[in-house]
C-alpha cells in the first residue's frame, strides 16, 4: 500500500515563526503536492514538485515556499507564519506512469496548523 506520512497531526505556532511541514512517501512517486484545506473552499494547491529540486507554483503560493532535496520527501515552509495561514495542510503524491492507476493522488493524514 502507498503510504504518505506527515510530520505532525497538530501544530501550534506563533505569528512570525518559521514553520516547516514535512511529507514523506514510500512509493517512489515522481510527483508531490501541498494543498491547503479550508471549510467551504475545498482543497487548494499551494505548490507541487514533479522531480527532485523541481517545483511549480499552484494557485495560492504566496507566503509559502517548498523544498524537495530527495525524491521521497517534500517540505512546505512558512517563512513568517501569519494567522491567515491557520488551516489544514494536506500532502499528496502521484506517479507519472500511464498505467491504470496513473494520476491518482495519495494523501497524507494532514497537519492542522494553528497560528496564534
Partner 1 sequence: AQTVTQSQPEMSVQEAETVTLSCTYDTSESDYYLFWYKQPPSRQMILVIRQEAYKQQNATENRFSVNFQKAAKSFSLKISDSQLGDAAMYFCAYLAGGYNKLIFGAGTRLAVHP
**φ and ψ of 85, to 5 deg:** -100, 5
Under the criterion CB under 8 A, does residue 93 sit at the interface with partner 1? no
Under the criterion CB under 8 A, does residue 43 sit at the interface with partner 1? yes
Angstrom distances, CA of residue 43 to CA of 35, 38, 100: 6, 7, 24
Name which position in 7, 8, 22, 58 contacts partner 1 (CB under 8 A): 58
Residue 7, SS3?
coil
Name which position in 48, 64, 74, 89 contacts partner 1 (CB under 8 A): 48
Under the criterion CB under 8 A, does residue 102 sit at the interface with partner 1? yes
Residue 37, SS3?
strand
Size of the site for partner 1 (CB under 8 A): 24
How many other β-carbons are positioned within 10 Å of the β-carbon of residue 83?
Answer: 10
Task: Write out the residues near partner 1 by the rule CB under 8 A.
Answer: 31, 33, 35, 40-45, 48, 50, 58, 90, 92, 94, 96, 102-105, 107-110
Amino acid at each position: 500500500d502507498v503510504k504518505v506520512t506527515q510530520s505532525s497531526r497538530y501544530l501550534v505556532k506563533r505569528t512570525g515563526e518559521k514553520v516547516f511541514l514535512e511529507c514523506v512517501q514510500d512509493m517512489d512517486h515522481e510527483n508531490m503536492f501541498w494543498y491547503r484545506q479550508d471549510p467551504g473552499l475545498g482543497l487548494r494547491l499551494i505548490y507541487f514538485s514533479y522531480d527532485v529540486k523541481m517545483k511549480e507554483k499552484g494557485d495560492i503560493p504566496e507566503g509559502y515556499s517548498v523544498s524537495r532535496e530527495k525524491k521521497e520527501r517534500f517540505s512546505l515552509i512558512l517563512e513568517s507564519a501569519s494567522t491567515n495561514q491557520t488551516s489544514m495542510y494536506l500532502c499528496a503524491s502521484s506517479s507519472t506512469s500511464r498505467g491504470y492507476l496513473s494520476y491518482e493522488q495519495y494523501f497524507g493524514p494532514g497537519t492542522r496548523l494553528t497560528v496564534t
